[in-house]
Structure 1
Amino acid sequence: MFFIKEISASETIPLRHIVLRAGKPVESCRFDGDELPSTFHLGYFEEDNLIGIISVFENKNSEFPEEKQFQIRGMAVSPLHQKLGIGQKLVQYAETAIIKKRGEIIWFNARIAASEFYSKMNYHVSGNEFEIPDVGLHFLMFKKSS
């Protein structure tokens, strides 16, 4: 049985570490704003096993004029479960939650390797690629949520 539910920030750390910050200190998996009341974290479960995560922050990016902005961060799926549609389901679930919160735009910094995945979900690149130190090359991507 598969299901998505809200989880705590601390529950995201193991998958963030394995998938997004392998070989780096576990402290690098804690994000500013993880514990804010406006932030929420979702987990994709197979039975009792957490195999996918996504975090959503109410956070403004000066590149966009919209007032109510949400940022996706830390989307990760267990290596054994990648390419099975789990990431897409997590993003869609997060989008639905953002719409309910009256979000106007969703944005994030996508790793270059993941940009095609997000493009297929109607996200658009804004600007040129840029480097996040110790993480790699990224694109700023966005989608209007209305």
Structure 2
Amino acid sequence: MPVSRTAVVPVEEIFALRWAVLRTGLPRETAVYPEDVRPGTFHIAAYDESGAVQGCGTFFPDPLPGEAAPAYRFRGMGSAPEVRGRGFGAAALTAGLRECAARGAGLVWCNGRTSATGFYQHLGFTLTGEEFTVEPSGPHYVFVTKDLDRQ
């Protein structure tokens, strides 16, 4: 089942997937991010052919410490377990990168799960710094890209 489209959507469109995939077994409110209501925040959904959201991400203006370039950060990247490896996460992320570039970002970064290192590196991100822990998600690295025009 291929990705049929991506879109900038209201948070309500991606919330169920975000909660199910990234906060499995935790209360609903753990999937509400303070950035969801910040100015400049946008959410990306990647849809399958039936119109179901199978991939998502949330992007918001946030400077990367030590960098002068205007930056966006993302969090809440995820894809439904039954479609992992089929391009839904990559589609959501690349659509988000293009939208960040259109909004004037010079770089995009995240605190990404260590287990997703290969995914981020495959999409042109560089791992920076030391591994750290984010509760309740576990070990993370900072990933950064200035390659915002990925297709």
Aligned to 2:100: 98
User: Could you tell me how far apart the structure 1 residues matched to 2:115 and 2:20 are?
Assistant: 17
- Residue 139 of structure 1 deviates from its aligned partner by 0.4
* Partners of 2:13 and 2:109 in 1: CA distance: 23
Instruction: Identify unmatched segments of 5+ residues in structure 2.
Output: none
Show the counterpart of 2:59.
56
- In structure 1, what is the equivalent of residue 8 of structure 2? 6
Deviations 1:72-98 (A, max 9, x none): 110111111110011111111111111
Alpha-carbon contact 1:9-1:35 (below 8 Å) kept: no
In the superposition, the TM-score normalised over structure 1's length comes to 0.92
Counterpart in the other structure of 2:38: 36
With the length of structure 2 as denominator, give the TM-score of the two structures.
0.89
Hey, what's the Cα distance between the residues in 2 that align with 1:48 and 1:124?
A: 32
Q: Which runs of 5+ in 1 are unaligned?
A: none
Question: SS of the counterpart of 2:54?
Answer: strand
Identity across matched positions, percent: 23
Deviation at 1:145, TM superposition (A): 4.1
CA distance in 2, matches of 1:12, 1:21: 13
| Deviations 1:11-33 (CA, angstroms, capped at 9, x unpaired) | 22211111111011110101111
Corresponding letter in the other structure for 2:21: V
Runs (4 or more) in structure 1 with deviation over 6 Å come to: none
Determine the structure 2 residue equivalent to 1:23: 25
